[in-house]
Chain A
Amino acid sequence: EDQVTQSPEALRLQEGESSSLNCSYTVSGLRGLFWYRQDPGKGPEFLFTLYSAGEEKEKERLKATLTKKESFLHITAPKPEDSATYLCAVQDVSWGNRKLIWGLGTSLAVNP
């Protein structure tokens, strides 16, 4: 059964204190792994798609990496505006449609 597990559940950082979020996944075949950001009361906002092990993508202070079993979202020198819940999701290549299976998210708080 396809599964996504994110850790930690919550993370509190000081402004400028770099850290990483983890997403472990189990799928029969990975079509893509996604990172989204979700602010309170809003829908998920797309950040990255990773397609194969070894791939990396960057956007401002965020960098996402992928191995065959997990993905990391590295946050470098975070700012208070990076505070949000970060969600990881996967698509299984065996599915005909592109539905996403999601983790529970990591709630990130960055203190000034």
Chain B
Amino acid sequence: GAGVSQTPSNKVTEKGKYVELRCDPISGHTALYWYRQSLGQGPEFLIYFQGTGAADDSGLPNDRFFAVRPEGSVSTLKIQRTERGDSAVYLCASSPGHRTSGDPTDTQYFGPGTRLTVL
């Protein structure tokens, strides 16, 4: 029974480097979300995909952050020129899509997260 998986589980990088974080959603889920969670905080919305397209990227903090989902399944969050302030746990969630599930709220199921540390 595959849930949402994320790789790597931990990533340590140096300031200024480029990183990619991967999310494998639950099979058949059309909606995919990225959130960021800092220590002691609730998750913060970054971007939402419906299928292959980014339907809402209003939560991306700046243009160093970019995400893709080219085939409507796996998604990659890309961060350029990393800064120490980017250190956080990056969470991915998927959901069936409210039109598929019939649930107007379209429950989101989360992966374990990738802990990013920028030195």
User: Which chain A residues have a beta carbon within 8 Å of chain B's beta carbons?
Assistant: 4, 31-32, 34, 36, 41-46, 49, 51, 87, 89, 91, 96-105
Q: Which residue of A lies closest to B115 (CB)?
A: A41
Contacts of B98 in A (CB 8 A): 98
Query: Are B42 and A32 in contact, CB atoms less than 8 angstroms apart?
Result: no
Contacts of B56 in A (CB 8 A): 96-97, 99
Contacts of A87 in B (CB 8 A): 42-43
- In the complex, A91→B41 CA distance in Å? 18
- In the complex, A96→B55 CA distance in Å? 9
Query: Are B91 and A43 in contact, CB atoms less than 8 angstroms apart?
Result: yes
Interface residues in B, total, Cβ within 8 A: 30
Binds A, one of B61-69, B78-86, B99-107: B99-107
- In the complex, A51→B103 CA distance in Å? 10
User: Which chain B residues have a beta carbon within 8 Å of chain A's beta carbons?
Assistant: 4, 31, 33, 35, 40-45, 48, 50, 55-56, 59, 91, 93, 95, 98, 103-113
Q: Jot down 28 A-B pairs with beta carbons below 8 A, ordered by A.
A: A4-B42, A34-B107, A43-B93, A43-B111, A43-B112, A44-B43, A44-B110, A45-B110, A46-B107, A46-B108, A46-B109, A87-B42, A87-B43, A91-B105, A96-B55, A96-B56, A97-B48, A97-B55, A98-B31, A98-B108, A99-B45, A99-B48, A99-B56, A100-B45, A102-B42, A102-B43, A103-B42, A104-B40
Query: Are B105 and A51 in contact, CB atoms less than 8 angstroms apart?
Result: yes
Knowing A31-B104, A96-B56, A100-B108, the reply to whether A105 touches B42 (Cβ < 8 A) is yes
Contacts of B42 in A (CB 8 A): 4, 87, 89, 102-105
Contacts of A44 in B (CB 8 A): 43, 91, 110
